[in-house]
Chains A and B, each alone.
Chain A
């Protein structure tokens, strides 16, 4: 089809485009490789199926926003098909009278799908442009007072327009080109849409149609050549950086486990991240994978309640900072601008409850929460800049071994009047029952501990408690960013564990649970830890306890973040509740299971208050009230405290009560 001159021009342009792309892509990957904690690129092979499920199956896009997700899938599938179409079209341009599998069913099927998806992609992208530029869907922007750089604001507008126009012109031209080809060579029913459009050109002289075919061919393929070097600067790079990110993201035992820091290593002089290259390579890759859909922002309890944090703004700021400095960084320049000056504000970092919803919901495997935790480590351990209340919490943990700052000698007070065996007397037991600080000091927490003990006694479990020998696991210290204090607490508990013989630990607090199970494992402290929901479920299944089904009213269950999203346990607490339901039903809140909305206490937020915006626990209570259930079952001491506070401050004391699943089961035993 192409003249010899056109062929030469195309080859020259292709060479220019490929060389320029080599430079820009090279910069992008060099920047990523300059980050901390190297990515294991061999994971691409190991995790190929995850990448394929995301790329071809569009699996991760359907987690939320199903309609938009479906439109996206059509566009993505169409675009994937076009990777082959472009190659075949180049052959069509270069080889005279070339036709891919002419007069062949397979060829016709190919042409039919190209025709179909051309139309679907065009409709899809028009819809996306409409949504962004005319419908002003506020899910695509961040409200005040979230920090989003001017560079990012302008860049998002420009890039979205550019990517949208590119796809429309690219696909549209290819589609028109096909229709001109049909006009020239006769009807082709395998391409019904292009065939229909070709009727428009029947009155145009053949020579002009040929020229138009050339123009559209050049627009379709020339545009690819023009766009290719720009790819690393555009969010459109998500189409391959997203699946790549899914394949190489660090596998964590739980979402918030960042890996232990070796404080004995004198070579480490930076703890946490204060500037861009302190972030791990996979965190830099996150910036390139982000398509700015802001699903994480929709999910974020801090954003929803009006605080300064938006996980997507964090990633978008990161992306535009990288774009702006890509050449400088890849040339080896160290850019010392503090993350808190351009990526997220300090207040935004403290607003995160580490609920993990942003990580759960991201279609491209980004972990904004990890950036926040790394940033907190820097603020705490390097800058000593963090909420005053958190400082008092650290001091209480250091001095008294618990964040409440109550006497270590009072840890056993909750056992008064009930029979609780102690490890220091028993020396060994099958189960070490870990009541935790809230289970020992908080008045409601004590009632929950007493219920757990009642269940253990009823089931005849061989167990014992550490009592005054127990100290805080260090959960809040680690999430707030004080890794050093966390490790100090862990080492102290490790020494206590060594003195006794036990098979597993049972705890009612998901924070203690995940810390003992996942975080301690990072320090080489291997423990078999079970959350009380799972343990009680097993006791019921093994008929060790037979709680009466006595509940005749509806119950709704609040999933604790550190039990659900962080440890994937959704069924055990629900099964436990089913065992005591008689006439009542278990009804779900608007957000439940992996989409559950945080109580507001996680990530150390139990101990300090971010005053901007509404209170997270009140928002959650609103969802509970909407179910009309009179009882909210919880399975976390922090959730219990936060939700009870939410009930009181929203004036719902008459309407709703918060009860732990252990209390409900215990009641069914007596």
Chain B
């Protein structure tokens, strides 16, 4: 069985996010990049499947500039077998369809049985890549898996619905599944893993050769949200105060 885990490198949640001089994207020079945390759960799920089944190969696929090789190595250190790096120098945001097409072209020939992705990326949070790849490569697709069971030529997954409901679905392989965060505990690489990862293969492909298609969406401008403080001192008797608070909660903050 061959499993592809799609991993994105994103700015860490505590990283500085300065806007570049043109106000067009972030200035990467002082950004701390990390493995997209939801993808870490997808990777762990793939590694658990590898550990409990025979002959499973886990391949890491990541797109971006040279820096993304750091997260590929990290995944290899945790136990993945090899990596595919789709070199994309242009860091501007693209729409998910273009991304999915490039990734699909890159992995088509590998004929993966399973494509696992995190439920979304922690930067732009589109949450579509896995599903789109599934559609493009004519795989069965499902989202938000909280449990996976491999059974011969199909996979059973438990999906998380709203309000504490769950749904079991059975998909034929090949399948593309997005993994809900928190379903497992991602591991820390052992030293043997870290050392071994240095010798594992990362195959590089050029993104522009995979698809010439231009992005359909364009980012006009990025900015840091303006925050402001408003203070209102509510005066009057109890009834007046209560009705004013209710009004604020209902109309201004819209929480009741």
Residues in A lying within 8 Å of B, measured CB to CB = 263, 271, 380-384, 386, 388, 391, 394-395, 399-400, 405-410, 484
Contact = CB atoms under 8 A, between A and B. Distances in A.
Interface string B190-230: 11111100000000000000000000000000000000000
Given A383-B190, A408-B32, 14 more contacts: A263-B191, A382-B190, A382-B191, A384-B187, A386-B188, A394-B188, A395-B34, A395-B188, A399-B32, A400-B12, A405-B14, A407-B14, A407-B15, A410-B16
A195 B8 CA distance: 92
15 contacts: A263-B191, A380-B188, A381-B190, A384-B187, A384-B193, A395-B34, A399-B32, A399-B34, A400-B12, A400-B32, A408-B32, A409-B15, A410-B16, A484-B191, A484-B194
Contacts of A394: 188
Query: Which of B14, B15, B34, B190 counts the most A-chain CB atoms under 10 A from its CB?
Result: B14
Interface residues of B, number: 17
Contacts of B189: 384
Contact of B195 (A263, A384, A388, A395): A263
A395 B189 CA distance: 11
B167 interface: no
A384 B190 contact: yes
Given A388-B185, A400-B14, A407 B32 contact: yes
Contacts of B34: 395, 399
A271 B191 contact: yes
B16 A409 contact: yes
Contacts of B12: 399-400, 405
A263 B14 CA distance: 31
B30 interface: yes
Interface in B161-185: 185
Given A400-B12, A400-B14, A484-B194, A409 B30 contact: yes
Contacts of A484: 191, 194
Contacts of A388: 185
A405 B34 CA distance: 12
A407 B34 CA distance: 12
Contacts of B32: 399-400, 407-408
Interface in B1-47: 12, 14-16, 30, 32, 34
A409 B195 CA distance: 30
Contacts of B191: 263, 271, 381-382, 484
A105 to B, nearest CB: 69
Interface in B56-114: none
Interface string B137-161: 0000000000000000000000000
Contacts of A271: 191
B188 A391 contact: yes
Query: Which of A383, A399, A406 counts the most B-chain CB atoms under 10 A from its CB?
Result: A399
A317 B169 CA distance: 52
Query: Which of B16, B32, B185, B191 counts the most A-chain CB atoms under 10 A from its CB?
Result: B191
Nearest to A390: B188
Nearest to B34: A399
B90 to A, nearest CB: 24
Given A399-B34, A408-B32, A409-B30, A382 B192 contact: yes
B195 A406 contact: no
Contact of B14 (A381, A382, A384, A406): A406
A258 to B, nearest CB: 15
What 4 A-B pairs come out closest when comparing CB atoms? A409-B16, A381-B191, A391-B188, A384-B190
A175 B195 CA distance: 67
A405 B32 CA distance: 11
A407 B16 contact: yes
Contacts of B30: 409
Nearest to A410: B16
Query: Which of B12, B30, B185 counts the most A-chain CB atoms under 10 A from its CB?
Result: B12
Contacts of B195: 263
A399 B74 CA distance: 12
A484 B193 CA distance: 12
A391 B191 CA distance: 14
B50 to A, nearest CB: 15
A115 B195 CA distance: 67
Nearest to A402: B14
Given A263-B195, A400-B32, A384 B188 contact: yes
Contacts of A406: 14
Contacts of B16: 407-410
A88 to B, nearest CB: 59
Nearest to A392: B188
Contacts of B194: 484
A383 B191 CA distance: 9
Contacts of A399: 12, 32, 34
A384 B194 CA distance: 12
B104 to A, nearest CB: 30
Nearest to B40: A395
Contacts of B193: 384
B130 to A, nearest CB: 24
B41 to A, nearest CB: 14
Contacts of B14: 400, 405-407
B44 to A, nearest CB: 12
Nearest to B16: A409
Query: Which of B30, B187, B195 counts the most A-chain CB atoms under 10 A from its CB?
Result: B195
Contacts of A407: 14-16, 32
Contacts of A384: 187-190, 193
A271 B190 CA distance: 10
A381 B51 CA distance: 19
B12 to A, nearest CB: 5
A279 B188 CA distance: 25
A406 B12 CA distance: 10
Nearest to B188: A391
Contacts of A408: 16, 32
A408 B31 CA distance: 9
A391 B44 CA distance: 15
B26 to A, nearest CB: 12
A395 B34 CA distance: 9
Nearest to B12: A399
A447 to B, nearest CB: 22
Nearest to B187: A384
A205 to B, nearest CB: 79
Contacts of A400: 12, 14-15, 32
B35 to A, nearest CB: 9
Contacts of B188: 380, 384, 386, 391, 394-395
Nearest to A401: B32
Nearest to B18: A409
Nearest to B185: A388
A85 B32 CA distance: 74
A263 B194 CA distance: 11
A325 B189 CA distance: 34
Contacts of B185: 388
Nearest to B193: A384
A391 B34 CA distance: 15
A384 B193 CA distance: 10
Contacts of A409: 15-16, 30
A271 B195 CA distance: 12
Contacts of A383: 190
B53 to A, nearest CB: 20
A524 to B, nearest CB: 21
A606 B20 CA distance: 37
A379 to B, nearest CB: 10
Nearest to A377: B191
A436 B165 CA distance: 47
A375 to B, nearest CB: 15
A263 B32 CA distance: 26
Contacts of B190: 381-384
A309 B1 CA distance: 45
